């Protein structure tokens, strides 16, 4: 089931961690592009905007951004991977 629809896989097993985001392609974070992603930084930002338009991804993005509003949870927030810089920018804008 999870291979055909990764959203159901994440929902079914509760693997979403609002504080840890690996931006490597194929990951379970809402900030991870699809597996084998080879897009530019501009294409990545466009993908994130598109995802933000869907409740599944938007809710997870908002949850991650809300961590920045509290010093305790902000210290727990971790972003790694090839799009780390872009995600920190997205999170900061959402947290405003």
Per-residue pLDDT of the chain (96 residues; tens, 9 = 90+): 344 444 444 443 456 788 899 999 999 899 999 999 999 999 999 999 999 999 989 999 999 999 999 888 889 999 999 999 999 999 999 999
**Dihedrals phi, psi of 75, to nearest 5 degrees:** -65, -25
Q: Which phi and psi angles does 31 have, rounded to 5°?
A: -95, 5
Residue 39: the pLDDT is 92
19 φ, ψ to 5°? -105, -10
CB 90 within 8 A of CB 31: yes
pLDDT, residue 15, reads 63
**How confident is the model at residue 48, as a pLDDT?**
97
Question: What are the boundaries of each domain within the chain?
Answer: 17-95
């Amino acid at each position: 089931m999870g291979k055909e629809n990764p959203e159901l896989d994440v929902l079914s097993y509760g693997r979403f961690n609002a504080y840890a985001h690996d931006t490597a392609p194929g990951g379970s974070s809402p900030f991870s592009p699809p597996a084998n992603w080879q897009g530019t930084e501009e294409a990545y930002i466009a993908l994130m905007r598109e995802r933000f338009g869907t409740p599944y991804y938007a809710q997870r993005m908002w949850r991650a951004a809300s961590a920045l509003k509290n010093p305790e949870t902000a210290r727990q927030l971790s972003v790694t991977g090839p799009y780390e810089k872009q995600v920190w920018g997205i999170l900061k804008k959402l947290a405003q």
